Amino acid sequence: MSTTVSKTTVSKTTASKISTPSTTTHRTALITGASAGIGAAFARHLAAEGYALLLVARRAERLQELAAELTAQHGVRCDVLAADLNDPAAPAAIMAFAEREGIAIDVLINNAGLSGKSSFAGTPWPQLAAEIQLMVTAVTELCHRVLPGMRARGWGRIINLSSLAAFSPPGASLLYTGIKSYVLGMSQSLDMELKPQGIHVTALCPGFTRSEFHDTMGTRDAADKLPGLLWQEADEVVREGWAAVMKGKPVCVPGLVNKLVASSVRPLPVALQYHLGNRLNPFKES
Ligand SMILES: NC(=O)c1ccc[n+]([C@@H]2O[C@H](COP(=O)([O-])OP(=O)(O)OC[C@H]3O[C@@H](n4cnc5c(N)ncnc54)[C@H](OP(=O)(O)O)[C@@H]3O)[C@@H](O)[C@H]2O)c1
């Protein structure tokens, strides 16, 4: 087994490969945000199913550790690319890397994401623009870039991480609700267009999920005070999301409590949703 590290066309991007032959499938999954939380859980789940992996995030060391673990456990090929998806050049660089390495992307898990916490007006524009680049533009561009290969092979699976926030009353959480609503709508449109060509697209809409999300957002204390029944483990979210995309379901809200929230909020009058969002947001700054 060998590990190589080399520079790609994006200056902040480094790559390495840990490989042994795949055992049960010749298909490969590209997972963004695989260094933690839901993305790492997707990597574990798909490696156990025999998928080869291309793991992407900024923290190369974490990706390399995960790749080594999954290759040792499951004998799958695991390539690692350290890339910052805030960089508009990153999606093209990821696909150029895949092409150079002879990797065909059959599964795309568009998972990398985070949420800002402070007010919209008080946040510098470059930070807001970076959120849009990471969770709107890069997500959309990666979908577009993997399609030619998927269409040529007549098979593809795409999961885009939306959120229960896309169904919940809008909270004062910067751009997050709007961004995840876009991902929900865009994924359904893509699914309608692509399903006849053998490509399923699912918007995965988790509620509170144990990961590093609230550490990055700076809301760990408030999040820890929320009742346990609101929380899911990352591997539960992944199992339900993966089953949904394989069955061709365009939207997956994992977990019973989240399903109840999603289905009870939607029918409410818009003004009441606004009022509830304003009153109930646990992360609202006073
Ligand atoms: N946890 C929840 O409660 C929850 C609920 C609903 C939806 N979601 C969504 O689920 C997805 C995964 O979140 P999570 O809960 O697993 O959070 P997490 O544990 O914080 O993981 C986030 C992942 O995104 C990567 N990432 C962040 N910025 C990046 C960038 N600029 N370039 C490349 N990778 C980047 C991080 O890797 P590096 O830092 O190494 O780059 C990390 O691997 C997100 O889209 C999130 O919005 C989460």
pLDDT single digits (tens) 92-107: 999 999 999 999 999 9
pLDDT at 256: 97
Which residue carries 């995309």 as its tokens? 245
Is 285 domain-assigned?
A: no
Residue 93 near residue 82 (C-beta atoms within 8 A): no
**Taking residues 4-26, what's their average pLDDT?**
47
Closest CA to 167 of 191, 184, 186: 184
pLDDT at 10: 34
**Taking residues 41-66, what's their average pLDDT?**
98
Angle at 99 between CA 159 and CA 90, to 5 degrees: 60
Is 18 domain-assigned?
A: no
pLDDT at 265: 87
What's the predicted TM-score (pTM) here? 0.92
Position with higher pLDDT, 13 vs 112: 112
Using 50, 70 and 90 to split pLDDT, how confident is the model at 12?
A: very low
Please state the atom number of ligand 1 nearest to the C-alpha of residue 59: 40
Cα 236 from Cα 15, distance rounded (Å): 30
The answer to whether residue 14 scores a pLDDT higher than 80 is no
Atom 46 (ligand 1): residue with closest C-alpha?
A: 113
Is 50 domain-assigned?
A: yes
- Cβ-based neighbours of 124, under 8 Å, separated by 6 or more: none
211 lines ligand 1 (CB under 6 A): yes
Instruction: Give the DSSP H or E segment for 48.
Output: helix 37-48
pLDDT at 9: 29
**Taking residues 264-269, what's their average pLDDT?**
88
36 lines ligand 1 (CB under 6 A): yes
Please state the atom number of ligand 1 nearest to the C-alpha of residue 130: 31
The answer to whether residue 89 scores a pLDDT higher than 50 is yes
pLDDT at 285: 62
Kindly give the pairing relationship between strand 199-204 and strand 209-210. Answer: unpaired
pLDDT at 142: 99
pLDDT at 284: 66
The answer to whether residue 115 scores a pLDDT higher than 60 is yes
Position with higher pLDDT, 20 vs 53: 53
Cα 154 from Cα 147, distance rounded (Å): 10
38 lines ligand 1 (CB under 6 A): yes
Choose the residue to mutate in 11, 58, 181, 283 for probing ligand 1, maximizing ligand atoms within 8 Å of C-beta: 58
Share of the chain above pLDDT 70, in %: 88
Distance 272 CA to ligand 1 centre (A): 30
Coil/strand/helix, residue 27? coil
pLDDT at 7: 30
pLDDT at 260: 96
The answer to whether residue 20 scores a pLDDT higher than 80 is no
Please state the atom number of ligand 1 nearest to the C-alpha of residue 87: 31
187 lines ligand 1 (CB under 6 A): no
Residue 189's CB is within 10 A of a number of other CB atoms, namely 11
If you compute the radius of gyration of the chain from its CA atoms, what whole number of angstroms results? 19
255 lines ligand 1 (CB under 6 A): no
Is 224 domain-assigned?
A: yes
Is 4 domain-assigned?
A: no
Residue 79 near residue 14 (C-beta atoms within 8 A): no
104 lines ligand 1 (CB under 6 A): no
Using 50, 70 and 90 to split pLDDT, how confident is the model at 277?
A: confident
Closest CA to 117 of 229, 222, 259: 222
Q: Catalytic site residues?
A: 176
Mean pLDDT score across all residues of the chain: 89
Please state the atom number of ligand 1 nearest to the C-alpha of residue 38: 16
Residue 34 near residue 43 (C-beta atoms within 8 A): yes
Domain tally, the chain = 1
Cα 162 from Cα 179, distance rounded (Å): 8
Atom 36 (ligand 1): residue with closest C-alpha?
A: 33
pLDDT tens digits along 28-39: 999 999 999 999
Is 10 domain-assigned?
A: no
**Taking residues 30-54, what's their average pLDDT?**
98
**Taking residues 267-273, what's their average pLDDT?**
88
Coil/strand/helix, residue 222? helix
131 lines ligand 1 (CB under 6 A): no
The answer to whether residue 246 scores a pLDDT higher than 80 is yes
Is 286 domain-assigned?
A: no
Check which CATH number belongs to the domain holding 93 and give it.
Answer: 3.40.50.720
Structural domain containing residue 233: 26-280
Is 220 domain-assigned?
A: yes
Coil/strand/helix, residue 52? strand
Distance 57 CA to ligand 1 centre (A): 9
